[in-house]
Amino acid sequence: MELTLFSAKSYDKHYFTQTLQTFNPPLCTLTTHPFALTSSTVSLARTSTAICVFVNDTLDAPVLHALHSYGVRAILLRCAGYNNIDLPLAESLGFFVANVPSYSPEAVAEFAVALIQTLNRKTHRAYNRVREGNFNLEGFLGLTLHKKTVGVVGLGRIGMSFARIMKGFGCTLLGADPFGGAEFTQELGGEYVSLEELLGRSDIVSLHCPLTEGTRHIINKESLELLKKGAMVVNTSRGGLVHTRDAVGALKDGRLGGLALDVYEEEGDLFYNDHSAEIIHDDTLMRLMTFPNVLVCGHQAFFTKEALGEIAQVTLGNLEDFLAKRSCRNSLVREGHLLVEGDKEPVRL
């Protein structure tokens, strides 16, 4: 059978090809395309039984119906987030859909800390200044993280990994999560509080929650007004958690002391591609990047050798479950190939 990867970079092809060699007998043949999955490119999957997609691929109704008509039956997300797919429709059409719920949470947590220290100690600006022979320290004054209060929004695997690192810096930890924070309080001695209290007390707020209807624009004009004046906000989770225009306003009036983003709510047409020779028409992003206390990266927090290997392994493991008609622990829908007779027409390979 054929597996088609969309939005595939050279590193995706390398790690998936390498991991496929560990399966005996061979699991599938691999076809890769650099193009994002859209209604314009969906026909590239015409000969495939399964497709593999990433965070900025589009799986809306037109794309899902087209995939179904081509005979595609498995959709493999090589990421944790799934806000880019119409899951109810995918389930009703009988697709197998699975994601990679966790891959190297330490990679993302470590990158969040790197963003904090880069923005705090201005190492990115120091690098450029020294290369020009300027060793002046003016403008580089930062803060000692020891004894600062760090708020962690989302206490899952990544949030907990981040909290452990910040505890090592000697920070006071606050945590907010609708599902509770027993591990956070018992293991790390953190304090479980409401989001409102966290915003008002934290020197640094780091976002590690998923993007849902309840968390969309969790950082907005109203929540920024609750923020401790001069606090830093870091987002390595999902771009839609931050209302960017509201953040620009808070930066202008000084309420927001620093903003570090590895994700952006309108990143779909920008990130993972080279636009250096083009005019970027996103005025909000361009305005954001004019602030000296803003740091924007291109959704690279996950990008380590260990994480890429794990993503390929788990994704192909999900495919193996589908082909073997086994229950998949990473399934995001009721699995059509496992449903009892009379419930729904089972998926057939």
Domains identified in the chain and CATH numbers: 2-103+304-338 (3.40.50.720), 105-296 (3.40.50.720)
Q: Could you confirm whether 213 is annotated as catalytic?
A: no
Residuewise pLDDT in 10s, the chain (349 residues): 999 999 999 999 999 999 999 999 899 999 999 999 999 999 999 999 999 999 889 999 999 999 999 999 999 999 988 989 999 999 999 999 999 988 889 999 999 999 999 999 999 999 999 999 999 999 999 999 999 999 999 999 999 999 999 999 999 999 999 998 899 999 999 999 999 999 999 999 999 998 889 999 999 999 999 999 999 999 999 999 999 999 999 999 999 999 999 999 998 778 888 888 888 888 999 999 999 999 999 999 999 999 999 999 999 999 999 999 999 999 999 865 554 333 344 333 3
Q: Of 73, 78, 157, 238, which residue is the catalytic one?
A: 238
- How does pLDDT run across 192-239, given as a tens digit for each residue? 999 999 999 999 999 999 888 999 999 999 999 999 999 999 999 999
Q: Give the number of other Cβ atoms within 10 Å of residue 211's Cβ.
A: 21
Annotated active-site residue in 73, 157, 265, 267: 267
Q: Is 267 a catalytic residue?
A: yes
pTM score of the predicted model: 0.88
